[in-house]
Amino acid sequence: MQIEKKDIRALSKDQLREFFVSNGDKAFRGNQVYEWLWNKGAHNFEDMTNVAKSTRQMLEENFVINHIRVDQMQKSEDGTVKNAVRLHDGLVVESVLIPTETRTTACVSSQVGCSLDCNFCATARLKRMRNLNPDEIYDQVIAIDNESRLYHNRPLSNIVFMGMGEPLMNYNNVMKAIDKIISPEGLGMSPKRITVSTSGVPKMIKKLADDEVKFRLAVSLHSAIDEIRSQIMPFSKSFPLADLREALEYWYSHTKSRVTYEYVVWKGINDNKASVDALVKFCKYVPCKVNLIEYNPIDDGEFQQASEESINEYIKALERNDIVVKVRRSRGKDIDAACGQLANKEA
Ligand code: SAH
C-alpha cells in the first residue's frame, strides 16, 4: 500500500529545517527549499536546482507539492480576468484580476462554496464544500500576480477577500495566507493593501481586533434595519445589528482603522427613506466609508437594482452627513466575474 505523501507546504520553515536535520542534512537546506516553495513558486522538486539531486529525490519520495492549477481563464472586455482554479482534490474556486489605470486588484476566494446564505449571491447557492488551505489562498494571489505582470507589466497592487466564501469562517487559514502574503519571504505586500470582507460575524471581528491585524476591514451591510437584513441575509438573524455595531466599535477602538460598508440598493427592499436614515445612523457609530455596489443580477428577477433616483437619495443623505460614499461600478460582468456572480458555471 502506498503511503499518502504529505503536502510539503503544510510545514512551517522551522519544521522544514527540522526535517532536514533529522535526515542528516543541514538546517539551512530547509531555508533553501522553503524559498523555492514560497518565494519562487516552484511546482516541482526538479526545479530546485541548487539542491542536490539525491535530496530532490528524497523529497519526492516523502512529499507532494499540492499546487493549484488555473484550468480556465476568461477575459472580459474591460480587462477583468477570471480564473477557474482547480484544487488538488478536483474542486474548483474562482478568483478575479481587476485592473484599473493605477492598480491591479486580486479578488480571491476563501472557501469552496460558502457557509452563508445571502439570497442575492450566486456563491451562496453552492453549499460550502470545504475551507481553502493557506497555500490554496496564497496560490490564487500568485497566479494573479503573474497575470498582472504578463498583461499589465506591473505587479499586483491590492488584494480583496471578496471571492467565494466567508473569510471569517475560515479564520486561521486566511490569517496564515495573509501572513505569507505580507512576509518578505512571500510577496512582501503591505497589509494596508489587503481588505478582508465579511458579511459581519461579530465574534470574529473582535478576534481580528484582538489579533491586532493591520489589514482593512469591509462589511457587507446592505441594510441597517434588522428585519430587512435578516430577510435578505438569513444567517444574520443570529447576528443582530446591535452585536455587529458593538463588534465594530471594538474593532475601531483597537485598530483605529476605518471600516468600509458594502451596500447594494434594491428595488422594493431598501430603496426607502427609513433604510437611508438607518444607514446614516449606523455610519455614525464608527468612522467608515460606504461603497454603493451595483447589483449584478443572478436570478429570475427576485432582486432588482433600484432606480438611479433612489441611489441618489442615499448619496445625498450620506454626503450631507459628511460620510464618504463611492459608487462602485461592476467589472467583468460579461464573464460572470462581478460581485456575487462567482458560481463555477463553467466547471
Ligand atoms: N462573504 C464575504 C465575502 C464575499 S464579498 C462578504 O459577504 O463580505 C462579495 C461581495 O459582493 C459582498 O459584499 C456581497 O454582499 C456582494 N454581493 C453578493 N452578491 C451580489 C450581487 N449579486 N450583486 C452585487 N453584489 C453582490
Q: What is the pLDDT of residues 307-316, one digit of tens each?
A: 999 999 999 9
Residues 157-183, mean pLDDT to the nearest whole number: 96
Is 165 assigned to a binding site? yes
Nearest CA to ligand 1 atom 11: 339
Active site (catalytic) residues: 94, 339
For residue 127, pLDDT over 80 is answered with: no
Probe ligand 1: pick from 232, 262, 303, max atoms within 8 Å of CB? 262
Give the per-residue pLDDT at 39: 79
Confidence of residue 300 (pLDDT cuts 50, 70, 90): low
Span 58-106, pLDDT tens digits: 999 999 998 889 998 899 999 999 999 999 999 999 999 999 999 999 9
Residues 322-347, mean pLDDT to the nearest whole number: 84
Give the per-residue pLDDT at 87: 95
Question: Is the distance from CB of 303 to CB of 271 less than 8 angstroms?
Answer: no
Closest atom of ligand 1 relative to the 222 alpha carbon: 15
For residue 263, pLDDT over 90 is answered with: yes
Give the per-residue pLDDT at 347: 57
Residues 6+ apart with CB under 8 A from 292: 263, 264, 265, 311, 314, 315, 325, 326, 327, 328
How much of the chain, in percent, has pLDDT values that exceed 90? 80
Residues 287-291, mean pLDDT to the nearest whole number: 98
- Label residue 104 exposed, middle or buried (CB < 10 Å: 0-12, 13-18, 19+): buried
Selection from 179, 192, 260, 270 nearest residue 224 by Cα = 270
Nearest CA to ligand 1 atom 5: 162
Residues 6+ apart with CB under 8 A from 1: none
Residues 145-173, mean pLDDT to the nearest whole number: 95
Is 107 assigned to a binding site? no
Residue 216 CA to residue 204 CA, distance in Å, equals: 14
Q: How many CA atoms lie within 13 A of 183 on its CB side?
A: 14
Q: What structural domains and CATH numbers belong to the chain?
A: 6-64 (1.10.150.530), 69-335 (3.20.20.70)
Residues 247-268, mean pLDDT to the nearest whole number: 98
Q: Could you tell me the distance, in angstroms and rounded to a whole number, from the CA of residue 199 to the centre of ligand 1?
A: 8
Nearest CA to ligand 1 atom 9: 162
Confidence of residue 304 (pLDDT cuts 50, 70, 90): very high
Probe ligand 1: pick from 111, 128, 160, 197, max atoms within 8 Å of CB? 197
295 pocket-lining for ligand 1 (C-beta < 6 Å): yes
Give the per-residue pLDDT at 40: 81
Give the per-residue pLDDT at 346: 60
Confidence of residue 4 (pLDDT cuts 50, 70, 90): confident
Residue matched to cell numbers 446564505? 117
- Alpha helices (runs of H) in the chain, residue ranges in sequence order: 13-22, 27-34, 53-62, 134-152, 171-182, 202-210, 226-232, 241-255, 273-283, 308-320
Residues 216-226, mean pLDDT to the nearest whole number: 98
Q: Which three cell numbers stand for residue 217?
A: 476591514
Give the per-residue pLDDT at 3: 63
Q: Which three cell numbers stand for residue 61?
A: 519520495
Residues 125-146, mean pLDDT to the nearest whole number: 91
Instruction: Quote the longest CA-to-CA distance of the chain.
Output: 72
Residue 55 CA to residue 63 CA, distance in Å, equals: 12
For residue 47, pLDDT over 70 is answered with: yes
Tally Cβ neighbours within 10 Å of residue 215.
Answer: 21
For residue 2, pLDDT over 60 is answered with: no
- Label residue 238 exposed, middle or buried (CB < 10 Å: 0-12, 13-18, 19+): exposed
Radius of gyration of the chain (CA): 22
Nearest CA to ligand 1 atom 17: 340
Give the per-residue pLDDT at 5: 87
Q: Which amino acid is at 1?
A: M
- Label residue 41 exposed, middle or buried (CB < 10 Å: 0-12, 13-18, 19+): middle
